[in-house]
Structure 1
Amino acid sequence: MAGPGVVVVVGSVNADLVVALERIPRAGETLTASGLERRQGGKGGNQAAAAARLGGDVRFVGRVGDDAEGAAARAALEDDGVDCAALLPTAGEPTGTALVLLEGDGENAIAVVPGANARLSPDDVAGALAPLPGEHVVVLACLEVPVETVHAAARAARQRGWGFVLNPAPAQPLPAELLALVDVLTPNEHELGLLSPGGAPALLEAGVGAVVVTRGAAGADVVTAQGQEHHDAYAVAGGPVDTTGAGDAFSGTLAWALAAQRPLGDAVEQACAAGALATRAVGARAALATAAEVESVLRR
């Protein structure tokens, strides 16, 4: 399945603290957890790991603290095959941290402390992307780093003729100048309403090339100027264990497939399969799929 192309991820790296609960507590309520695990996370790190485990040539642009958590985050990404030359240590800032409250049915709620992620600058992105050769490059970004940095990545991608995929999470209103540079936007169904009251059609009018709306167990919708098509979700044996990181696996796989010059519809099918497979174990990266596993699901 792998083909030529490079995926450049501009995004966040976090240390995840995963708290296992029967259910997520309501406001003002205290519940006793059944477990606590420390895992590697961050939307950018998860997306890069997903693309790399598929066999992609993946470069990461981000910041971590000059601390033990940052060293561990770098080592984990490098173990997955991610090029971390542009993952920069940041004095005076801790590595980002995410608190993940995980229910017994696999659903979750997440709070993020950005730490060093908030220090990733447009200059960092320019320095990392400038020497990168190649025509078949897709830049993938998320919103766990500053918007002005994401905008710089989008401008650089457009200037080089590369694809730009934006996973707009955590969702926030985005400047029209940025939306006009997005080739593929990958919100989930909740984020879509926060991005635009007019939904996908309004985002297309703003200049987005395609909107891929992920809907969990209901699959994904692809909306372009040519119309809308639906892609069903894939089931995993035994049902989902943990949905944390499934959306990141989707976006990372989509970028990998587009860098390999797959048509958008085919890329979304591969992303749906990889997103489903990512729910097989606890942790955002615990069950990321290989290319062979994705191919096996697609053949079923």
Structure 2
Amino acid sequence: MKPTSSSQTAPPLPEKRVVVGCGGASVDFLATVASYPNPDDKIRSLSLKVEGGGNTGNALTGASRLGLTARIITKVANDTQGRSILQEFEADGVDTSHIVVSEGNSPFTYVIVDNQTKTRTCIHTPGSPPMVPEDLSQDSLISALENANLVYFDGRLPDTALVVAEEASRRKIPILIDCERKREGLDELLNLATYVVCSEKFPMAWTSAPSLASALVSMLIRLPNLKFVITTRGDKGSLMLERSRNDASEIVEKDVETLLESLQERVDGVVTLPTCISSKSDLRISADGIGAISGRLLAGTAEKIPHSELIDTTGAGDAFIAAVLYALCAKMPPEKMLPFASQVAAAGCRALGARSGLPWHNDPRLAPFWP
């Protein structure tokens, strides 16, 4: 249920705030257990919850609650789970008119939440039959992209996603890709990407670079259209490598590993609320044996959530992306965007499931980020 307005008035919403997402939407069956079971154990759940899930479904729900106009392209079945997926989206204001509904089985995920370690284990069952490009009519595609400010992909539904991404690229609509792990068809999407938000493991796995910092440099070199790449690092916060619009070939060159060390030293001991520390602008940032880019490196911190308040990290990355979508529409500078995204993700971790804790635009916890 949408919370009542706080006494503090929320700021005006971005003028251009239509975002389109193409990817996974499912149902999550969340069981909290005292500790993760050993093989052949029989245990009881402490609590059970059923709610919507899927990376794109979660991210667009979060974006809608923050005040964006969210449209989703995905596929569900005409079954009980599919109908509940649609109902949840509609309750959260997500436009479902571009969802394909067919006979078959909707996707779902079993999520085991370990109450002791505050970790979650996911067992996903894909929907059947899967979405293919022929499921999405040209009229529906054009309608979905009309007046869109951003298009987001989670790497699923690769064939359909590529059709949507190519049309968005033709229309010069910026594209944000969520790179959780290497997937079929992801490279083709990345070639069209304007922004990337990825897991901590992805950059090294994708580039074969020897370290995270050097992998970020490699990604910007290999993807010349990319304006920035962000890697989320859980309770360690986030890193962002932003490409400069200026040619810094005649400006000071800094090794990315040394630069990261200097930022980490400044991050240590900061306050519990999220913040961001940035290198100087327009450096030439190099990685040994890889090359160099003109830009700057930023380190964002995570909120230090008391153990008693940390309930479930399911969907934390999706909540982070929802905030990045909002920040891009609102033209937030990166120094503000990274703490804002961390704050939204932390709110989501204070409730069971990926969506229950997602904040609304008028949430008082977000007040420090409004003008």
Instruction: Please say whether Structure 1 and Structure 2 have the same fold, judged by a TM-score greater than 0.5.
Output: yes
The answer to whether the 8 A contact 2:220-2:228 is kept is: yes
How many residue pairs align between the two structures?
Answer: 295
- Say which is worse superposed, 46-55 or 204-213, in terms of deviation: 204-213
The answer to whether the 8 A contact 1:174-1:195 is kept is: no
Give the structure 2 partner of residue 139 of structure 1. Answer: 151
In structure 2, the CA distance between the partners of 1:116 and 1:49, relative to structure 1 (3 Å rule), is farther
Distance 2:323 2:299 in 1: 18
In structure 2, the CA distance between the partners of 1:254 and 1:122, relative to structure 1 (3 Å rule), is farther
Partner amino acid, structure 1, of 2:222 = A
The answer to whether the 8 A contact 1:62-1:86 is kept is: yes
1:107-122, aligned counterparts within 5 Å?
107-116=119-128, 118-121=130-133
Whether 1:8 aligns to 2:15 is no
Give the structure 2 partner of residue 273 of structure 1. Answer: 343
Give the structure 2 partner of residue 153 of structure 1. Answer: 164
The answer to whether the 8 A contact 1:242-1:283 is kept is: yes
Distance 1:142 1:126 in 2: 21
Whether 1:235 aligns to 2:304 is yes
Give the structure 1 partner of residue 235 of structure 2. Answer: 217
The answer to whether the 8 A contact 2:158-2:186 is kept is: no
Q: What is the TM-score normalised by the length of structure 1?
A: 0.89
Q: 1:20: how far off?
A: 1.6
Q: 1:81: how far off?
A: 0.6
**What secondary structure is seen at the aligned counterpart in 1 of 2:362?**
helix
- Say which is worse superposed, 71-80 or 17-26, in terms of deviation: 17-26
Q: 1:178: how far off?
A: 2.5
User: What RMSD, in angstroms, separates the aligned Cα atoms of the two structures?
Assistant: 2.3
Q: What is the TM-score normalised by the length of structure 2?
A: 0.73
Give the structure 1 partner of residue 325 of structure 2. Answer: 255
Structure 1 unpaired stretches of 5+: none
In structure 2, the CA distance between the partners of 1:171 and 1:24, relative to structure 1 (3 Å rule), is farther
1:64-143, aligned counterparts within 5 Å?
64-91=76-103, 93-104=104-115, 105-116=117-128, 118-121=130-133, 124=136, 126-131=138-143, 132-134=145-147, 137-143=149-155
The answer to whether the 8 A contact 1:273-1:298 is kept is: no
Match of 1:36 among 48, 62, 80: 48
Distance 2:129 2:171 in 1: 25
Bigger relative CO (Cα 8 Å, ≥ 6 apart): 1
- Say which is worse superposed, 77-86 or 205-214, in terms of deviation: 205-214
Structure 2 unpaired stretches of 5+: 1-10, 210-214, 244-294
Distance 1:172 1:118 in 2: 15
Give the structure 2 partner of residue 186 of structure 1. Answer: 197
- Which of the pair has more CA radius of gyration? 2
Distance 2:40 2:297 in 1: 42
Distance 1:30 1:120 in 2: 40
